[in-house]
Amino acid sequence: MNERHQLRRRDFLATSGAVLSAPYVLPSGVLAAPGKKGPNERINVGHIGMGGRARGLYGELGGLRGKGECQSIAVCDVDEKRLENAAKLVPGATPYRDYRYILQRKDIDAVVIGTPDHWHGVQFAQAADCGKHIYCEKPACCTIEESKAMVAAAQRTGIASQIGSQGRSQREAYLMHRYLANEVVGKVDYVECFHYTSPVDTSGTPDGEPPADLDWDLWLGPLRWRSYNRKYLHGVFRWLLESGGGQIRDRGAHVMSCAMYWMGADGTGPVSIEATGTSPTRGLWDSAVEMKVTYTFKNPDWVMTWEQMPMDEVSRRYPVEERTKEENRQGFGRISRPGYGAVYHGDQGTCMHWGGDGGTWAERKVRQWAPPADTKEVYQSPGHMEDWFVGIRTGRKCIMDIEWGAGVANLCVLGNLSFILKRKLQWDPVKQEIVGDDEAHRMMSRPQRYPYHL
């Protein structure tokens, strides 16, 4: 291992300034578009972020590693403890504290980005410009500006991209998609997404000094500077509008991803967004507790709502289906995440699913539907990681390509902007811009700290 990689954090920070001032990310056009990997070529993967969900993504590559299709050769995290654990988990991988070392390596074909939401836009765009194929955890981004930059970077470099809304690739998601595509419930004009409330911070935790094993500046990255507080991380960054965005960006990016895909609405967008809700009255977290957002689409005309409500109301309005032993034997397991999902309202009936990420569960009538001979078939994903590898090897667009992932992330961003501004927003889905509201238009982007910016 290179001596540079053996430095402890304090030594690394003391010596890295001269190194990191170099241009780690090459300008677009300097690198050729990545070549497609042959069917028997092993893909070298680098992992950016190795926290809880990111370790899960490493695990989800296990089947492909077992077949010899890939190997993980680098891991990265700004938390030294997590990095040490990652080095043990991924034998032979080179550990880094700064992701830019991974982007610089020419022997790395693809990266898995499992960092907090506020890092996705910058790391994705930079990785694409370095010719890396990208799997990026959802939601794709935090601002409309980031979404545009990510899509542009992928298009100009020709990389294969997959956003981690893996609900599209689940077995029962395929059954739900096929059921809707064949209009068993008729023409759907209303999708009713539901979820329980976002949590409230009641801890009263004061600011303090970051632990010695955490690079707080690098964790913040493109965010404005703020004092360290352990209630900003890890995981709980989700409940801050700046770095996460609440349940609408956490699970909404899953449930609404399924809706956009099954409704054939990828590449489109609403024309108006209107949100109401309640804000926390205490604590550090500021995302909406209860919330309702209405998205109105045109040509074709349909409406989607996202609603956060107390769990007892979720249970009353959307009671979970109990599955039989025979269904379990058929591979239709228990619904372990009953607190969120969606109801699809057609002119001939309704159908429902629960979950939408690591588990997508369709109601019984969907699973028991016997397709007729003239059934319209839909794509059945081999698995979310596997689908990404098909994209890497063939150039075919992935099931949750960044263009589709950015569109879903924009729904979450726009919902939160309407909630913050307390008014209805008008959206141009072709130009990807808020119209008729200068203040809201300015909020499509935000300043990013040097040098962690687009």
pLDDT in tens, 84-143: 999 999 999 999 999 999 999 999 999 999 999 999 999 999 999 999 999 999 999 999
pLDDT of residue 185: 98
- Considering the entire predicted model, what is its pTM? 0.93
* Confidence band, pLDDT 50/70/90 cuts, at residue 40: confident
- The number of residues in the chain equals 454
pLDDT in tens, 199-211: 999 999 999 999 9
pLDDT of residue 34: 59
Residues 6 or more apart whose CB falls under 8 angstroms from that of 368 comprise none
pLDDT in tens, 167-214: 999 999 999 999 999 999 999 999 999 999 999 999 999 999 999 999
Instruction: Give yes or no for residue 12 having a pLDDT over 60.
Output: no
pLDDT in tens, 357-386: 989 999 999 999 999 999 999 999 999 999
Cα angle value 402/131/392 (rounded, 5°): 60
Are 164 and 141 spatial neighbours (Cβ–Cβ below 8 Å)? no
In this structure, how many other beta carbons lie within 10 angstroms of the beta carbon of residue 448?
19
* Confidence band, pLDDT 50/70/90 cuts, at residue 5: very low
The pair of structure tokens assigned to 77 is: 């995290």
**CATH fold group of domain 168-381+402-442:** Dihydrodipicolinate Reductase; domain 2 (3.30.360)
* Confidence band, pLDDT 50/70/90 cuts, at residue 37: confident
The segment(s) of the chain belonging to CATH 3.30.360.10 are: 168-381+402-442
Instruction: Give yes or no for residue 9 having a pLDDT over 70.
Output: no
Radius of gyration of the chain (CA): 22
φ/ψ bin of 20: left (φ > 0), alpha (ψ from -120 to 50), beta (otherwise): alpha
Mean pLDDT of the chain: 92
In this structure, how many other beta carbons lie within 10 angstroms of the beta carbon of residue 152?
14
The segment(s) of the chain belonging to CATH 3.40.50.720 are: 26-167
**CATH fold group of domain 26-167:** Rossmann fold (3.40.50)
Are 397 and 205 spatial neighbours (Cβ–Cβ below 8 Å)? no
Instruction: Give yes or no for residue 240 having a pLDDT over 90.
Output: yes
